[in-house]
Structure 1
Amino acid sequence: MSLYRNIISFFKGIHEYTRNGFETASAHFVDSDLDVSVVGRSFMITGANSGIGKAAAIAIAKRGGTVHMVCRNWERAEQAREDICRETGNKEVYVHLLDMSEAQKVWEFAELFKKRYRSLNVLINNAGCMVTSREVSTEGFEKNFATNTLGVYILTKGLFPLLERSSNPRVITVSAGDMLLQKLRTTDLQSEKGPYDAPMVYAQNKRQQVVMTQEWGKDHAGVHFASAHPGWADTAAVAATTPRFHRLMQGRLRTAEQGADTLVWLAVSNSAGATPSGLFFQDRQAVPAHLPLAWTHSPAEEELAFMGLLDELAASSRPPAAGRFRLSGQSVAQSSV
């Protein structure tokens, strides 16, 4: 019965994820929350060359922030950087090349960034993927897990020292409403058991991100952590990975700017910084990470065990001598600086 009720609750609530849902929620927004200058503060956004990542980069650059775009494709990222600079008049926008599915490269990038830059105030973990059939990276990790979970874990962990010595540091991770129908699964992180269901794997990764955020919020008092559901936005990624859904929802999907709104609010507003760390947000409000009567709760010890598994996997891919990596070279990181 609880399964049935939760599925009904989920589908009753999905109108909140649409453009109409955003317009209803935004009637209660405090406009002055985003009337801020962030000159002198630095922001790293993964997957910033398109969709809500690019929209967030534009919003932050307009407010004077220094933006570090972490992207997989150099040409698309450079084009996006030029667009952002032209639209905002802000030239403090830099591109770094990185594939988040390559765990060792993520470690290398984090080490190089810490050597080159003196501060990082906000990290927005936005990049993600939904590979439709099971693929394995060169390091042996299932691609969706490698990108959406392990890569996020390594990048955030690798940048902790820099964040912790920067002023008012924040980490925001873009999750999804799909995770509300998923319970944390620790026994099959690589999706090796049973048939491969890409949307379910993706939703599981998004549940994993919420758990990571909650646990980080408990353990790192000096950094403010949040995860967020951006709603259903009309982006190229949505069109490519879920074409049927994209066709059915034409005219009802949020714009990229609407999808990015809560990310920007979490990144720059004083109101967001005053909320407890580790919460899950939608439309500028902390919302439950589980449906009513949910079966998706996990014991605290299981969530701690999950974090331990991630730590082991991350450690197994960490380069033995990070200091040997150069500050140039497209295979590690590339910057327009």
Structure 2
Amino acid sequence: MSLYRNTLWFLNGIHQYTRQGFETASKTFEPKDLDVSVVGRSFMITGANSGIGKATAIAIAKKGGTVHMMCRDKNKAEEAKSDIISVSGNTEVYVHVVDMSQTYQVWEFAEAFKKQYPSLNVLINNAGCMVHKRELNADGLEMNFATNTMGVYILTQTLIPLLEKSRDPRVITVSSGGMLVQKLRADDLQSEKGYFDGVTVYAQNKRQQVVLTEHWAKTYPVVHFSVMHPGWVDTPAISTSMPQFHQMMGDRLRTAEQGADTVVWLALSRVAARTRSGQFFQDREPVPAHLPLAWTHSSAEEIQSFIAQLETLARGVQSQHEADPKGPLDQLQPQFV
């Protein structure tokens, strides 16, 4: 079955996920969808200093939005901030130095942000990683899972009360078409069983993001949730983590701007806000989150187990803070730039 899934996925990809696939799809785009001004609205983007994240930040800044960049590397973030301001002419761009792989730090940041800012209109979970050997973060979590799943879960879950108080709140998570070849493994969330393969683990994390989005959409109806596949995009992350694939695809890979297009559309357009919450998008259209006959659907019990495990892990992170005499705002305030 995995051979069938992989073959079908790759054949789909050659036609749909490449630059040519975007150019074909974009012929049906409605330009007026992005004829909007978002002055006064605030947007948080993780991994905003390069690739899809930076392209998204530029597009939003050009429309007048206030951009909060969450980045791991302060120097790279400040350089990207200067570029964004220069290109957009918008000075409402702010850097927050946070490592999404460190779950305790993510929770501290989110708690501090809620105290410092009165609203957040849109959260864009873009940051991700693909580590090819099993490594643990400071909280003892597998690094890919910590970044791609727990970081996204803790950041989003903590900020939902702030989003719910804001006008037209949205959460967009950048997933991957690779998740289409994976079924949620609720009994092995941190890839402890069997051979460890970074590409497979990454795809499994991306399936987890899709399941999470569907869960959030049902649980928090005030917020509009969506998850999307950007296609195969030429980014620094892809060239580093998948060099053979990057070299093989070459000019067929999408530009960062093409990869970011659906993120921007989901974040800005009124049309996107009217779509059903919890869907998986590709090139501005909701698409199935499962390949035909691929047996990747999860039972209600598996999903419940998955969510319960995330809740337990999140409580563990929070309990570490309770033992710390310093509050999150005291620890993080110097990092706000």
> So what's the TM-score if we normalise by structure 1?
0.96
Structure 1 counterpart SS, 2:322:
coil
- Paired with 1:82 and 1:164, the residues of 2 have a C-alpha distance of 31
- Paired with 2:50 and 2:199, the residues of 1 have a C-alpha distance of 21
Q: Does 1:320 align with 2:322?
A: yes
Contact 1:109 1:333 in 2 (8 A): no
Query: How much does 1:325 deviate?
Result: 2.3
Q: Does 1:50 align with 2:50?
A: yes
Matches within 5 A, 1:44-123: 44-123=44-123
Query: How much does 1:316 deviate?
Result: 0.6
1:32 — aligned with what?
32
C-alpha distance 131-6 of structure 1, shift in aligned 2 (>3 A): closer
Contact 1:108 1:322 in 2 (8 A): no
Quote the sequence identity (%).
61
1:306 — aligned with what?
306
Query: How much does 1:12 deviate?
Result: 2.0
Structure 1 counterpart SS, 2:251:
coil
Contact 2:111 2:328 in 1 (8 A): no
C-alpha distance 134-156 of structure 1, shift in aligned 2 (>3 A): same
- Paired with 2:171 and 2:53, the residues of 1 have a C-alpha distance of 14
- Paired with 2:325 and 2:111, the residues of 1 have a C-alpha distance of 8
Query: How much does 1:224 deviate?
Result: 0.2
Report the AA paired with residue 320 of structure 1. Answer: E
CA RMSD of aligned residues (A): 1.5
> Could you list the per-position Cα deviations for residues 183-215 of structure 1 after superposition, in whole angstroms to 9, with x for gaps in the alignment?
000111121111111100000000000000000
Matches within 5 A, 1:261-276: 261-276=261-276
2:234 — aligned with what?
234
Q: Does 1:284 align with 2:278?
A: no
C-alpha distance 322-59 of structure 1, shift in aligned 2 (>3 A): farther
- Paired with 2:112 and 2:294, the residues of 1 have a C-alpha distance of 42
1:11 — aligned with what?
10
1:334 — aligned with what?
335
Report the AA paired with residue 296 of structure 2. Answer: T
- Paired with 1:246 and 1:118, the residues of 2 have a C-alpha distance of 42
Q: How many residues align?
A: 334
C-alpha distance 84-322 of structure 1, shift in aligned 2 (>3 A): farther
Contact 1:175 1:227 in 2 (8 A): yes
Contact 1:51 1:236 in 2 (8 A): yes
Structure 2 counterpart SS, 1:251:
helix
Structure 2 counterpart SS, 1:37:
coil
- Paired with 1:276 and 1:326, the residues of 2 have a C-alpha distance of 35
2:211 — aligned with what?
211
Q: Does 1:144 align with 2:131?
A: no
Contact 1:328 1:334 in 2 (8 A): no
C-alpha distance 218-224 of structure 1, shift in aligned 2 (>3 A): same
Structure 1 counterpart SS, 2:67:
strand
Structure 2 portions without partners, runs of 5+? none
- Paired with 1:51 and 1:31, the residues of 2 have a C-alpha distance of 23
Contact 1:41 1:65 in 2 (8 A): yes
> Could you list the per-position Cα deviations for residues 144-172 of structure 1 after superposition, in whole angstroms to 9, with x for gaps in the alignment?
00000001000000101100000000000
Query: How much does 1:327 deviate?
Result: 3.8
